[in-house]
A and B are shown apart, each in its own frame.
Chain A
């Protein structure tokens, strides 16, 4: 009896360790509707908080990535470079939204910000499913100041956030090699 229980314990330990260490094979999330939902929610947040008086009580400056996309230039970039841009940008937005959440008092605004934050986390999962490293949690040193700029209002922050998702992130997901095999 004791030998069996011991065996079960060992088995469970082994499985846990395996689950922790080894990356679980995730099916690539190539459905554009996933990102489309995030984009729409970001746009809704931007629209809802545009009329916020006095910036909803949010003060300070936030570092945000650049959102411009030049297709001609894009053609020259490879997926890794694009992925780097996306990940650093997502990281910056995560930071900024976290800071906004601290300074906002109204509950409704807080919930909207929380939603967008969770969406950014979900995007990290999506990138991982496409075999793109998720660097949203760790700072990206490669990205310089040229790739960022500063904003001073919540509405501007949210607008940039929306543009970033619509442009760079979407293009990355559309061009991901993992999704290229499935699409015709």
Chain B
């Protein structure tokens, strides 16, 4: 028994609470509608229909005029019918005002309705209306936003107000804006319960709300209140495939173009980035690979290699030794091969006298031991006695000895600067002036005259082995004349090799007189 009572009590409470909630809810809705109509409807009394068979009318009274509800009477009359009266209820409103309500629960549509309001038999309001033209519906329920699966779109769906016969007469207004923004767009839709919003930004949150109204053909009314806004984020932005493909194509085209440009200028670019260090390997075949850079050995073994040289060399003779003597050392002639580079360079630039002095000083500095005379004596002996000597072949009579003496026409100064990289040969070959007569058949060797400080002597001038001893330890140049071109190869005596690994300056020069004087310091191209 107690259980039953408790159950009943529980059910009663639930119902009561539910009713109270609905009443509260209804009161809130009424308050909203009243506020709406106070704003939208100028006529009094303000009436609205919420459903198919009801009508709610109200009017507002100021504080000073308010009285009790009994003072008022609400008389309504349908066309061709008798008048009826509606009971009035009063509710307090904001600002001390009062609202008086009349509610009809059974109505006739599509027929004129006359309303008259009296206060103490005084007509205060008079109005004629069609009830089907004053609908004020509740906002649509269950507004939901879903994604359509397409970029920049959202689908809004809702539940239409449940009014029979009027479903196809309803008109909806959907308002959507980016969350946080006040500027929004509005779209209208008729007789539908969903709408697809297009043209939205990707990855953005949107705020959507909706309101409803009857379309005005058969039924009409006021716009309902807005629903509570619903938020939804659109799909995140995707790279437009068209843009992606276009950018890929453009980058590909640009890459190809740049590659083409690079390929067409690759030699130039390579030169700039990775300049080629010239090596003389091509000229001296086997010098570096076989003999490890030992020029002496290579010379000795490369006689046959002469034949491997470029075809324009037709040397069928062994190179004739060319004796280069130093003017300075008439007495104690010293090998000049090891002149310090500074001195040899200085030789090229200074006056003759100064040069002699310098050479002297250099040579003096270079003098090491009193043993210097020994090689000279030895060589003298060799000269006088044709003893077999490794290098004696170089002094054979049938060889052409050409000495290059650095001298003027008048002077007898010799400058041992045949080994110098720059000056002597420059002087020799740079001069544009015609040379003097060659002194031998071998010698198509041109001698410069004007500036020439070098002179040549051919061994043919000394047919009787009267080659003047120029001194010991010297470096000389062998000349091979093929009749077409001259082949010069610097050589040195073994003594000089002992004394110091001869720093033989090899010059590249052509057997020609250049048209103009080369500037000092430029090596003359030399072909072996």
Q: Which of B106-114, B177-185, B225-233, B304-312 contacts A (4 or more CB under 8 A)?
A: B106-114
Answer whether residue B165 sits at the interface, using C-beta atoms and an 8 A cutoff.
yes
Answer whether residue A166 sits at the interface, using C-beta atoms and an 8 A cutoff.
yes
Q: In the complex, which residues of chain A have a beta carbon less than 8 angstroms from the beta carbon of B79?
A: 68
Do A70 and B165 contact each other (CB < 8 Å), given the known contacts A36-B218, A40-B217, A166-B132? no
Answer whether residue B168 sits at the interface, using C-beta atoms and an 8 A cutoff.
yes
B53 near A168: Cβ-Cβ < 8 Å: no
Main secondary structure of the interface of B (DSSP, over half): loop
User: Least Cβ distance of A66 to chain B in Å?
Assistant: 7
Q: Of the candidates A68, A149, A170, which one forms a contact with B218 in the assembled complex, judged by CB atoms under 8 Å apart?
A: A170
B218 near A67: Cβ-Cβ < 8 Å: no
Answer whether residue A19 sits at the interface, using C-beta atoms and an 8 A cutoff.
no
A66 CA to B112 CA, complexed, in Å: 11
B111 near A72: Cβ-Cβ < 8 Å: no
Answer whether residue A71 sits at the interface, using C-beta atoms and an 8 A cutoff.
yes
Do A166 and B218 contact each other (CB < 8 Å), given the known contacts A71-B53, A72-B53? yes
Do A164 and B110 contact each other (CB < 8 Å), given the known contacts A174-B165, A175-B165? yes
A77 CA to B108 CA, complexed, in Å: 15
Answer whether residue A171 sits at the interface, using C-beta atoms and an 8 A cutoff.
yes
Segment 164-178 of B: residues with Cβ below 8 Å from A: 164-165, 168-169
Answer whether residue B78 sits at the interface, using C-beta atoms and an 8 A cutoff.
yes
Q: In the complex, which residues of chain A have a beta carbon less than 8 angstroms from the beta carbon of B527?
A: none
B53 near A39: Cβ-Cβ < 8 Å: no
User: Least Cβ distance of A65 to chain B in Å?
Assistant: 11
Answer whether residue B52 sits at the interface, using C-beta atoms and an 8 A cutoff.
yes
A158 CA to B132 CA, complexed, in Å: 18
Q: In the complex, which residues of chain A have a beta carbon less than 8 angstroms from the beta carbon of B132?
A: 166-167
A68 CA to B108 CA, complexed, in Å: 6
Do A70 and B80 contact each other (CB < 8 Å), given the known contacts A164-B110, A175-B165? no
The 8 A CB mask of A57-72 against B (1 = contact, 0 = none) is 0000000001111111
B52 near A68: Cβ-Cβ < 8 Å: no
User: Least Cβ distance of B157 to chain A in Å?
Assistant: 15
Q: Of the candidates A36, A72, A167, which one forms a contact with B110 in the assembled complex, judged by CB atoms under 8 Å apart?
A: A167
A166 near B110: Cβ-Cβ < 8 Å: yes
User: Least Cβ distance of B424 to chain A in Å?
Assistant: 116
The 8 A CB mask of A128-168 against B (1 = contact, 0 = none) is 00000000000000000000010000000000000110111
B109 near A149: Cβ-Cβ < 8 Å: no
A170 CA to B106 CA, complexed, in Å: 20
Do A69 and B109 contact each other (CB < 8 Å), given the known contacts A166-B132, A170-B218? yes
A70 near B106: Cβ-Cβ < 8 Å: yes
The 8 A CB mask of A11-26 against B (1 = contact, 0 = none) is 0000000000000000
B164's nearest neighbour on chain A, judged by CB, is A71
A164's nearest neighbour on chain B, judged by CB, is B110
Q: In the complex, which residues of chain B have a beta carbon less than 8 angstroms from the beta carbon of A72?
A: 53, 106
Q: In the complex, which residues of chain B have a beta carbon less than 8 angstroms from the beta carbon of A40?
A: 217
Q: Of the candidates B53, B169, B218, which one forms a contact with A70 in the assembled complex, judged by CB atoms under 8 Å apart?
A: B53
A71 near B109: Cβ-Cβ < 8 Å: yes
A149 near B217: Cβ-Cβ < 8 Å: no
Do A149 and B80 contact each other (CB < 8 Å), given the known contacts A72-B106, A175-B165? yes
Q: In the complex, which residues of chain B have a beta carbon less than 8 angstroms from the beta carbon of A70?
A: 53, 106-109
A167 CA to B110 CA, complexed, in Å: 6
Q: In the complex, which residues of chain A have a beta carbon less than 8 angstroms from the beta carbon of B107?
A: 70
Do A71 and B217 contact each other (CB < 8 Å), given the known contacts A149-B80, A167-B132, A168-B110? no
- Residues of A at the B interface (CB closer than 8 Å) are 32, 36, 39-40, 66-72, 149, 163-164, 166-168, 170-171, 174-175
3 closest A-B pairs (Cβ-Cβ)?
A167-B110, A68-B111, A68-B108
Q: Contacts A72-B53, A149-B80, A168-B110 given; 5 further ones with Cβ under 8 A?
A: A68-B108, A68-B110, A69-B109, A70-B106, A70-B109
A-B contact pairs, 28 of them (CB 8 A): A32-B169, A36-B217, A36-B218, A39-B217, A39-B218, A40-B217, A66-B80, A66-B111, A67-B111, A68-B109, A68-B111, A69-B108, A69-B111, A70-B106, A70-B107, A70-B109, A71-B109, A71-B164, A71-B165, A72-B53, A72-B106, A149-B80, A163-B110, A167-B109, A167-B110, A167-B132, A174-B168, A175-B165
